[in-house]
Amino acid sequence: MSVQEYLDKHMLSRKIEDAVNAAVRAKTPDPVLFISNHMRKAVQAMITKIKARQILDSRGIPTVEVDLYTNKGMFRASVPSGNPNGMYEASELRDGDKGVYLGNSVTKAIKNINEKISEALIGMDPTLQNQIDQAMIDLDKTEKKLETQFNEDCIYPFKVIKKIKYVHQVPLYKHIADLSGKTIPMLPVPAFTVISGGKHAGNNLAIQEIMILPTGASRFEEALRMGSETYQHLKAVITEKYGAYGCNVGEDGGFAPNVSRQVEALDLVKEAISRTDYNEKIKIAIDIAATNFCIGTRYDLDFKSPQKSGQNFKSAEDMIELYKELCNEYPIISIEDPFDKEDWEHIKYFSSLELCQVVGGDLLMSNAKRIERAITESACNALLLKVNQVGTVTEVIEVVKQAKEAHWGMVTSHRCGETVDSFIADLAVGLASGQIKGGAPCRGERLEKYNQLLRIEEELGEDAVYAGEDIRQ
């Protein structure tokens, strides 16, 4: 393409003339700089280069980072990783060579990005999210990216939507709001992990995590302060009772004292809250992750204990009674995955009791068909949204619309293997999810999400709205 053809294609001759005229009207003392800035805004954005590399997530396991180059600059994104649940979510492509990173390398995914996906996307406008996502979906011919080379490790980091502020001249959260049709961004209530258990920690606690939600805060900044202070009080409570070794932390940054009973852990959190001035302003949520200790039709609450007595097996009916007792005794407003991911019967019954918000995590896996079934059968009333379970931003917006139309709550969630990418903070605000699950108020990869929410609230100023007690609106 000749220089003149390039100028004609992008209408640059006319744009250059407009820039010069604008500089004259502005009577700027530095016309060259003025024209340069004017042209940078006027020229259509275009992807010029894509470079993927292998990095490590917060667990020290390989994942993917991508540099996206446009004629406006270079932008970087990285993908987190969780514990894959199989056939209902986007798969992870691992190399499988046990001699390198124990089989967890992602060099095959890197190669696919640098060659096949790169070839498909170069020359496209990065602001056209639907077209970008469709181009990648077209490369992946299998439903939900199963057993394929184009999986979450390829597609998710291609959220070229990231840093759209510098291309599209609007903040990322605002761009997401525009894409989703949600015109009013909202700061979510953070669900801070304070005690870790299950597969996320080395103690004997069967349930996966206990979280605190500062629903009584007036702003996100206040909510973060409340969460941080309560977390520090909890550290003191645990130290007094179990010694300093009890303050070791799990994968998400929650403390992991060697407790085995749910009430023992909840009593610690309740005591920590009582040492603050917040009390009724802080509520509790628990992630049971019951699939991890379901054996047949029974639940083994001693599944991590080296001295199993065999006496702590619970039926689904027993678990329902347990949840009733916990909700009566503690300020619990949300329970995630109270039963096995295929136990639709009992989760439907439990949801009908309306004791608290019932969140579908493993039950739904952010899968549109599973969500549709759950809505039809009234199986739960909140969606745990994990972006890399879905694959693309466009598909994420569609499943969120499903949940919103059913008047569900929504929890935008991190993964156990995180990076310092803060994308889900903007996503939670733009989609007005009302809740964000980002881990403990410690560890850099968790705090980056919360710190980004601080920046967004500051940028919104008087227009900032905090979900507060309306977490499910």
* Cα–Cα distance measured from residue 322 to residue 319, given in angstroms and rounded to the nearest whole number: 5
Enter the pTM of the model.
0.84
Reported confidence tier of residue 190, pLDDT bands at 50, 70, 90: very high
The whole-number pLDDT of residue 466 equals 96
∠ CA 311-312-313, nearest 5°, is: 100
- Predicted confidence at residue 342, as pLDDT, reads 94
Confidence of residue 133 (pLDDT cuts 50, 70, 90): confident
Q: Is 25 within 8 Å of 19 (Cβ atoms)?
A: no
Whether the per-residue pLDDT at 17 is higher than 70: the answer is no
Instruction: Indicate if the pLDDT at residue 410 is higher than 60.
Output: yes
pLDDT at 136 (0 to 100): 82
The single residue listed with the structure tokens 């992630």 is 287
> What integer pLDDT is reported at residue 18 of this predicted model?
66
Predicted pLDDT of residue 142:
47
What is the enclosing helix (H) or strand (E) of 318? Answer: helix 316-329
Of 386, 404, 437, 449, catalytic: 386
Question: Cβ–Cβ contacts within 10 Å for residue 221, how many?
Answer: 16
Q: Is the predicted pLDDT of residue 394 greater than 60, yes or no?
A: yes
Q: What percent of the chain has pLDDT over 70?
A: 83
Active site residue 252: yes
For residues 48 and 68, give the distance between their C-alpha atoms in angstroms, rounded to a whole number: 8
| Separation of alpha carbons 168 and 469, rounded Å | 33
Tokens representing 255 are: 């403390």
DSSP character for 462? Answer: G
pLDDT one-digit tens code per residue, 333-370: 999 999 999 999 999 999 999 999 999 999 999 999 99
| Residue 97 counted as an annotated binding residue | no
> Phi and psi at residue 343, in whole multiples of 5°?
-90, 75
For residue 147, the model assigns a pLDDT of: 37
Instruction: Indicate the helix (H) or strand (E) that contains 161.
Output: none
Separation in Å, CA 78 to CA 54, 57, 166: 10, 9, 18
Alpha-carbon span 244 to 229, nearest angstrom: 18
Q: What is the DSSP string of 77-142?
A: EE--B----STTS--------TTSGGGT--HHHHHHIIIIIHHHHTTS-TT-HHHHHHHHHHH--S
- Report the chain's mean pLDDT, rounded to a whole number: 85
Handedness of CA 238, 241, 247, 252 (dihedral sign): negative
Show the domains of the chain with their CATH numbers: 3-42 (no CATH), 48-169 (3.30.390.10), 179-463 (3.20.20.120)
pLDDT confidence tier of residue 8, bands split at 50, 70 and 90: low
DSSP, res 250: -
- Buried/exposed 302-321: b ≥16 CB within 10 Å, e otherwise: bbbeeeeeeebbbebeebbe
Secondary structure, 3-state, 365-430:
CCCHHHHHHHHHHCCCCEEEECHHHHCCHHHHHHHHHHHHHCCCEEEEECCCECCCCCHHHHHHHH
Q: What is the DSSP letter of 44?
A: P
> What is the reported pLDDT for 215?
97
User: Of 133, 140, 153, 252, which residue is the catalytic one?
Assistant: 252
- The pLDDT of residue 87: 57
Mean pLDDT to the nearest integer, 218-227: 98
Is 280 annotated in a binding site? The answer is: no
Highest mean pLDDT among 5-9, 184-188, 344-348: 344-348
